[in-house]
Structure 1
Amino acid sequence: MKRILGAIALLVATALAVPAWAVEEDGYQLWMRYRPLDRAAQARLDASAIIYQGAASPTVNAAIGELQRATKGWAGHAAPLRSGLQDGAIVLATPANAPQLAAQIDGLKTLGAEGYALKRLKLQGRRITLIAANTDIGLLYGSFAWLRAAGSGAALDKLDERSAPKLQLRVLNHWDNLDRTVERGYAGESIWDWWALPEVRDRRYIDYARANASLGINGAVLNNVNSKAEILTAPWIAKAAAVADVLRPYGIRVYLSARFSTPLELKETATADPLAPEVAAWWRRKADEIYRAIPDFGGFLVKANSEGQPGPQDYHRSHADGANMLAQALAPHKGIVMWRAFVYAAEKPVDRARQAYDEFKPLDGSFAPNVMVQVKNGAIDFQPREPFHPLFGAMKHTPLMMEFQITKEYLGFATHLAYLGPLFQETLRSDTRQREGGWTVAQVLEEGAGPAGLTGMAGVANIGSSRTWSGSHFDQANWYAFGRLAWNPQASARHIAQEWAAQTFPPAAAKDITDMMMMSREAVVNYMTPLGLHHLMGTGHHHGPAPWVDDLGRPDWNPVYYHKADRKGVGFDRTAGGSGALAQYAPELARRWSDPRSTPPELLLWFHHLPWTYAMPSGRDLWTELVAHYDLGVSQADELRKRWAKLRPMIDAERFEDVSTLLDKQYKEALWWRDASVAYFQSVSGLPLPAGVRAPERSLEEYKRQRFPFAPGRG
């Protein structure tokens, strides 16, 4: 017995001596890991109890539960819930439940329904941390803000923070199908187990809600924009209602993607013409039915007259006609329509980049107050780099909603490390020059337009059934970055990366990880689409390089449509002498970008078709510069894996090996991108490789023969 007890004591002592970073992790807990802190860090935490006075709502219970989960993880025991003040307590207060405590924050009302204040102060002789808000959801957001500060090493004893969201709608768009496949999803099946709903509600839905609430995300479109009519039938409305019940305490409203021709396809009307009275009446009845099941239903997301989807133009009606008909049905319930501006059609072959502006700009001011036009960050399609969409700043009487893609359809799927914070920031900080003195895309979004002044940002989700949620550990950071920038579009991508890294990995590794993240997106641009090239990916699946494809049914499905490489040069001419798309930007930008010498090099071939001999600012000719960027991208991919290798002593083995494997694959695919692209452009230009440059490993024909019929994400 003594030997047994001695062995047990040795095992316990050994376990206690194991540092937190050595514990295996699979990524499921995201940035809400709450790993044990050392004694010094626990002392700084100083969370002796949680104080809440009065009866707690489900939302307040969620806040209390999260604080207790965190304090138990950090300190080994959960902070108890109390009603009276005590030293070191975290106090939750609103004007409704604790007016005297809430009054400690001057100007609390100015923070609105979702804002919060965090303040370290002395009250009645006791040192407390006050989390104050006007509403229960504000308390939940404030609790997560305190956890974020604690988890990222902020000085909690000096805490004094006020924050309110700058955008009203902060929404994830799930491109999830009813059979649980996910279009452009690289993280497994949909998290929505439609077959088991509404009776079976997976615990994962709660963890999903917690993660979104930690970022201030307040909406979720549950199904694919390429929608099916069945989603609006009674059995599926009941399934959506069950999900809504789980998400509601976390401040998340449910939305549905609606197929425009639903009443016709369900054979309940003879047409889908938005001006037909029977169609409008059908949608009003359907809206009433949905709101009976989901009282806080957010509204519809609609993809219409794009990529073969039905829409009002099928009946010679405008986008405004279609959107306003749906908006009228939702208006009595305070629902909204998010009408996507991603439209392109084969019968308009001049320049796909022009089509959204050409169709929507003339409709500015004609949309109903509860319609938002949802515009992608760029005019083509979520490319590794695009100039901002010309509609931003141009539609001054219509509320525009940003649409970013979090899932990396064109940036290496979940395989490649590509932190999208810099991409999002690049778009949001772009100056539209639509006002004297400047007017950034972020300011356009924050100001809103129209009588209701609606504001919002949407992100195409990268979430699936994978234990990591996003298919890889680093792709979690893109979900995180979207949420933080949706709350504050003027936030810093680097600061967000630092927050995420500090909460997700051991503090000692956070700076090095942040540096890796900040270089990663530019690496992908360099080895995929340098100098403004775009849409060179394999057609359909968008995996790997295929700049040679030229035989598909629509011109704009072919990569050759976008780069237009020939013996003379390369690039898409969007100046007045080409497609004229530059004229869609503000005059100052159009003038600047119409001259290749004043066009930023990173956008050069987006706007100009230039000779291979064109002199670049570096002093090299265009051909040499292009090859140099491909080589740089490969070097950067190699640098990422080398930097990660140095972190082995600081990272748990499971996550270290997972990331290492993907970084090795990324380097291999970066080489493939470089070699295939250089081989192709050399074959078109007829030029020799620049001096000292390595020849592609294989022949161009070998690269062309590669096929990927079962690439993920096809939906």
Structure 2
Amino acid sequence: MLKKISFLLLFISSTAWADDGYRLWLKFDLIKNPTQRATYAKFSQFIYTEQQDAISQTASKELQTSLQGLLGKRIPIAKNIQDKKGGILLKVSATDAKTQALADDGFAIYTQNNNIVVSSKNPSGALYGAFALLRRIQTGLDISKIDIADSPKVRLRMLNHWDNPLGTIERGYAGSSLWKWYELPEVIDQRYIDYARANASVGINAVVLNNVNASARFLTDEYLQKVKALAAVFRPYGIKVFLSLNFAAPKILGKTKNSDPLAPEIRTWWNNKTQEIYKLIPDFGGYLVKANSEGEPGPQDFGRTHADGANMLAEALKPHQGIVIWRAFVYAADPKGDRFKEAYKDFKPLDGTFADNVMVQVKNGPIDFQSREPFHPLFGAMPKTPLAMEFQLTQEYLGFSTNLVYEAPLFKECLDSDTYVQGKGSTVAKVVDGSLDKHTLTAIVGVANTGSDRNWTGHLMSQANWYAFGRLAWNHALSSEQIAEEWIKMTLTQHPQSVTVIQDVMLKSREIYVDFTTPLGLHHVMGQNIHFGPEPWLERSARPDWTAIYYHRADSLGLGFNRTATGSNALSLYSPEVQQLWGNPDTCPLPYLLWFHHVPWTKQLSTGKSLWDEFSSRYYKGVASVEWMQKQWKSVANQIDPAIFADVDGRLAAQHREALNWRDACVLYFQQYANQPIPAPYPKPTRSLAEMKKIVEIYQLR
């Protein structure tokens, strides 16, 4: 009786309260259509698994709880199946014919003897298969004759948290850190479990808990005990924990003379520290390292290479099957150079010198998570080294948590780009998944956008970026359209017309953001301190490559950074086919035009307009498109939870205000150089450039 009452309360609480976004896409509410509900119920009479490991048990419990919510009835977990029919069987078997061709973590789902079988080679695969089955039910797909098989294309599908010991998040826009360090390890917040569930539901299997600008404190026993507690929470969901480390930790914590990676005492220190970690956390994943970048310590401080530093740590991790992930985000402060080329210059010569348990983690583009970048030239340039892809979910350069920007098209644009290094079809995705160069150590990484806000991501629509990252990390061949449709149906509404409207808004949102901020390949003109709002007039900063003028190169003749042979020659870092594609300003795709060319203001583009007319028109079009987004969102009001609708509606209004600021600031600033009128039929901004500078100046106050 008590169980029935508890379930009833759970059911009522999930349906009667206003939706605050906490449940993400894991909404297992009662299916409204009785006929559809009855159809699914035919295959949900019981759940059975022979496996007693923690992950398999998690899979069966997730199925049980979720199906009870969807079907409105109790689903028993059977102790044996004998001749039972109409249930779900979780099967972990390497000999099942359906699993023979699967990779680790893969699964097959099929019908057999009027049961649905979820089969896998390992327990994690059973868990991912269970969530895949639930996803099909949530989105209304037929399961009566299901026969599918699916495997992840990369081994590590990882979130990087830029969280600090005191609870702040670098580039975090959804509250403070998820990890309540001062309460750990004694207090285990339910949020940690729900976070693990969300990750497992989309196949994410690794988490870096702390900021790449790392505090050495995370390697103390005080914090390792806390990390151990989190690892215990995540383990039943198939998630391994990693730590970012401070390369100078031996000197900071061990009081060594220095942190030279070739010094015997330093190698000994890291070996001992690593053994200490594995005694506490036997399945610890390994280390993520940001070194000799933006002031962080590293091996170059001692005349050593990045490979020297990475291999020292790899040696310590090797006996424990641990992995080093070494970030390639490095760039020297050279006012006459091109930051675009810096990582390539440092890492290309090191190809083939890294240990076999080292990966080099490369950002999707060569600068820093801009709203659009060409793919990083290191992809395809280091065939002997496994390269991990680093995307950014948190919207550092995409409007924080007040802008609706669906990032799947950005991820896909990079992954689908062709490097041509082994001929046509040598996509970035094939570099990352190891298929191009026959690597088995593979990873796709996302800088997390989660925080302590009740809805996890600040802007509820930003949940879709977490979801999309997981789905694409699992299978980069999925389309942005499919992922958006899944997320909408699981999170917002299943009303067909509303799904279509919201999907259309999501798919266009990234391009709209580019239009009102950095059209035609303009880049890095945002505010310098918090990277918010426009500041194209920025001339001075702590480093030349932190200014805006370093990148846009505006003058009376034109706009853009010449990266051809007559300029910085960064284009030469790509294959001849890519150079041909981007090297001619007459044929260069417009999205990359100002990335590679200094273009005259009067030059006629493929649109039929001059550069100035097209450039300024994009800003006006971007603002109008935000107004279109607002109108489209209002049209689905009756099909969206009122609390969610109001929150997103308000943020779209804020986005419109910010789009106007971007438009007026950039059009007025660059008009000084173009010396041309605002093209018809657009009105001249009512605010002056001086007024816009004052507004942006306030943004930068801390």
Q: Aligning the two structures, in what range does the TM-score lie when normalised by the shorter sequence? A: over 0.9
- 1:626-637 aligned within 5 A: 626-637=615-626
Partner of 1:43: 38
- 1:208-607 aligned within 5 A: 208-347=195-334, 349-447=336-434, 453-508=440-495, 509-607=498-596
Cα-to-partner distance string for 1:633-688 (whole Å, 9 max, x where unaligned): 11111111100100011111111101110111111111111111101111232222
Distance 1:109 1:523, change over 3 A: same
SS of residue matched to 1:266: helix
- In 2, distance between residues paired with 1:666 and 1:75? 39
Contact 2:139 2:489 in 1 (8 A): yes
Q: Return the offset for 1:450.
A: 7.9
Distance 1:21 1:689, change over 3 A: farther
2:110 to 111, 119, 132: 119
- In 2, distance between residues paired with 1:409 and 1:359? 25
| Identity among equivalent pairs (%) | 50
1:685 to 674, 681, 686: 674
- Given residue 528 of structure 1, which amino acid in structure 2 is its aligned partner? T
Matched, 1:622 2:620: no
- In 1, distance between residues paired with 2:511 and 2:573? 27
- TM-score normalised by length of structure 1: 0.93
Partner of 2:601: 612
SS of residue matched to 1:659: helix
- Given residue 92 of structure 1, which amino acid in structure 2 is its aligned partner? L
- In 2, distance between residues paired with 1:422 and 1:214? 21
SS of residue matched to 2:149: strand
Contact 2:207 2:240 in 1 (8 A): yes
Cα-to-partner distance string for 1:600-646 (whole Å, 9 max, x where unaligned): 01100000001100110011100000011111111111111100100
1:29 to 23, 26, 44: 23
Q: Return the offset for 1:697.
A: 2.6
- Given residue 655 of structure 1, which amino acid in structure 2 is its aligned partner? I
Contact 1:21 1:506 in 2 (8 A): no
SS of residue matched to 1:706: helix
- Given residue 437 of structure 1, which amino acid in structure 2 is its aligned partner? K
Q: Return the offset for 1:471.
A: 0.7
Contact 2:47 2:75 in 1 (8 A): no
Distance 1:53 1:395, change over 3 A: closer
Cα-to-partner distance string for 1:331-364 (whole Å, 9 max, x where unaligned): 1111011000000121474100100001100111
- In 2, distance between residues paired with 1:79 and 1:547? 60
Q: Return the offset for 1:51.
A: 3.0
Partner of 1:12: none
SS of residue matched to 1:374: strand
Partner of 1:64: 60
- In 2, distance between residues paired with 1:327 and 1:177? 25
Matched, 1:139 2:135: no
Q: Return the offset for 1:54.
A: 3.2
- In 1, distance between residues paired with 2:438 and 2:242? 22
- In 2, distance between residues paired with 1:538 and 1:222? 28
Unaligned runs of 5+ in 1: 1-15
- In 1, distance between residues paired with 2:625 and 2:84? 53
- Given residue 633 of structure 1, which amino acid in structure 2 is its aligned partner? G
Distance 1:173 1:349, change over 3 A: farther
Q: Following superposition, which runs of at least 4 residues in structure 1 exceed 3 angstroms of deviation?
A: 20-23, 448-452, 707-712
Contact 1:21 1:650 in 2 (8 A): no
- In 2, distance between residues paired with 1:707 and 1:624? 25
- Given residue 238 of structure 1, which amino acid in structure 2 is its aligned partner? Q
SS of residue matched to 1:274: coil
- Given residue 35 of structure 2, which amino acid in structure 1 is its aligned partner? A
SS of residue matched to 2:101: helix
Partner of 1:94: 92
Partner of 2:136: 149
Contact 1:22 1:653 in 2 (8 A): no
SS of residue matched to 1:92: strand
Partner of 1:10: none
Contact 1:448 1:455 in 2 (8 A): no
Q: Return the offset for 1:592.
A: 2.6
- In 1, distance between residues paired with 2:200 and 2:623? 38
Partner of 1:9: none
- In 2, distance between residues paired with 1:420 and 1:456? 19
- Given residue 63 of structure 1, which amino acid in structure 2 is its aligned partner? A
Matched, 1:193 2:180: yes
- In 1, distance between residues paired with 2:53 and 2:232? 14
SS of residue matched to 1:52: strand
Q: Return the offset for 1:87.
A: 3.2
Unaligned runs of 5+ in 2: 1-10
Distance 1:451 1:632, change over 3 A: closer
SS of residue matched to 1:362: helix
Contact 1:273 1:279 in 2 (8 A): yes
Cα-to-partner distance string for 1:524-582 (whole Å, 9 max, x where unaligned): 01001100000111012011111011021311110111101111110000001111100
- Given residue 169 of structure 1, which amino acid in structure 2 is its aligned partner? L
Q: Return the offset for 1:80.
A: 1.2
2:627 to 628, 632, 638: 638
- In 1, distance between residues paired with 2:44 and 2:379? 49
Matched, 1:676 2:673: no
Partner of 1:701: 690
- Given residue 404 of structure 2, which amino acid in structure 1 is its aligned partner? L
- Given residue 681 of structure 2, which amino acid in structure 1 is its aligned partner? G
- In 2, distance between residues paired with 1:51 and 1:236? 39
- In 2, distance between residues paired with 1:605 and 1:700? 23
Contact 2:48 2:89 in 1 (8 A): yes
Moved more, 516-525 or 79-88: 79-88
SS of residue matched to 2:333: coil
Q: What is the root-mean-square deviation of aligned Cα atoms in Å?
A: 1.8
Cα-to-partner distance string for 1:421-468 (whole Å, 9 max, x where unaligned): 000000000000111232000111112688963111100000111111
Distance 1:242 1:687, change over 3 A: same
Contact 1:171 1:459 in 2 (8 A): yes
Distance 1:154 1:451, change over 3 A: closer
- In 2, distance between residues paired with 1:240 and 1:608? 48
- Given residue 549 of structure 2, which amino acid in structure 1 is its aligned partner? V
Cα-to-partner distance string for 1:152-195 (whole Å, 9 max, x where unaligned): 12111232110111100111000000001000010101000011
- Given residue 54 of structure 1, which amino acid in structure 2 is its aligned partner? E
